[in-house]
Amino acid sequence: MTNDTAGWFESVPPDDPAAARDAIADGSADAPDDWPAKAVDSGFAADEADYYDKLHEATLDATREAVRERERADDQQLVHAVRSMDDAERTANELAERVAEWAGALFDEAGTGVDGAREVAARDPTTDAERRAVSLAQRVADLADEVEDCRAFVERTAPAVAPNLSRMAGPVLAARLIALAGGLDALAKKPSGTVQVLGAEDALFAHLSGRAPSPKHGVIYTHDYVRNTRPEDRGSAARALAGKLTIAARIDHYAGDIRPDLHEELDDRIATIRARADS
């Protein structure tokens, strides 16, 4: 709707879905009107039923384009990267256990873990069984390399997407928080109490069903300010960290500028919490 006198799709060719999609995405009107009749009068639709069919298709096309644009957004690429990194790491570790069992039956002094798989991958097999074990070990090594490549991508991308969050949490944890929330926009809208327990959904559900105490933290436990604070003060540290992470995410989403004071305030708060042990 371009204004209150021109009909919606009035200037849109009937056989141009992209133009119809743009009309839906960008059009506006000051007041309601008989848009089907106007579409018919302008030649866009043959009749009212045809108008609604074309409106339906144009709306679906506009929705699909909006989804594609969202998926191309930098924060969504960060989500895909960190999830891929975690999937590849988990798969590499699982396959490394299989390699260790198989190679242990074929070679002397076969190592364990990804490093052990790399050693097996470098061997020169002489039997069909050895070739299969070495081939599997090579896949483990490739996956481990992919993990490092994804991590490097995350570490390059996160500071550009969420500078304050990345500085405060570190690029990988920042990316995990964004992924768990479903995007930077979604993370910025969450209360700090939710951010505090992101990644602890199973424990939270167990608590809500009366089977476990309330979790004090989720993935933010990996942050030095939580992990390296004495157990009795970790809840306070997690709350302080989650509060500042929430603010950082909102600044990154809505403003995008670096706020050094925010990080200094967190440093001071954690120092105060940790000083309790000395009092």
Q: How do residues 26-38 score in pLDDT, each as one tens digit?
A: 666 676 777 788 7
Who has greater pLDDT, 217 or 178?
178
DSSP structural state of residue 7: P
Give the list of residues 6+ apart from residue 78 with CB closer than 8 angstroms, or none. Answer: 154, 157, 158, 161, 175, 178, 179
Who has greater pLDDT, 141 or 14?
141
Who has greater pLDDT, 66 or 249?
249
Helix, strand, coil share (%) of the chain residues, nearest 5: 75, 0, 25
Rounded to the nearest 5 degrees, what angle is found at the Cα of 135, between the Cα atoms of 85 and 86?
10
Percent of the chain surpassing pLDDT 70: 82
**Is it the case that residue 5 has pLDDT exceeding 60?**
no
Would you tell me how many other CB atoms lie within 10 Å of the CB of residue 230? 11
- Say what the pLDDT of residue 69 is: 52
**Is it the case that residue 7 has pLDDT exceeding 60?**
no
**Average pLDDT value for the chain:** 86
State the average pLDDT over residues 267-274: 94
State the average pLDDT over residues 132-159: 97
71-80, 122-131, 174-183: least confidently modelled range: 71-80
Who has greater pLDDT, 200 or 169?
169
The radius of gyration of the chain from alpha carbons, rounded to an integer in Å, stands at 27
Q: Which residue has the tokens 């990194």?
A: 85
**Is it the case that residue 225 has pLDDT exceeding 90?**
yes
Q: What is the crossing angle of helices 128-161 and 74-104, to 10°?
A: 160
Q: Within 13 Å of residue 181, how many CA atoms lie on the same side as its CB?
A: 28
**Is it the case that residue 70 has pLDDT exceeding 70?**
no
- Say what the pLDDT of residue 47 is: 85
Who has greater pLDDT, 203 or 160?
160
268 phi and psi, to 5 degrees? -65, -40
- Say what the pLDDT of residue 44 is: 77
- Say what the pLDDT of residue 262 is: 94
Task: Please choose, from the candidates 248, 269, 237, 261, the residue with its C-alpha nearest in 3D space to the C-alpha of residue 190.
Answer: 248
**Is it the case that residue 214 has pLDDT exceeding 80?**
no
pTM of the model as a whole: 0.71
Structure tokens at 93: 């570790």
- Say what the pLDDT of residue 144 is: 97
- Say what the pLDDT of residue 217 is: 81
Residue count of the chain: 279
State the average pLDDT over residues 47-58: 81
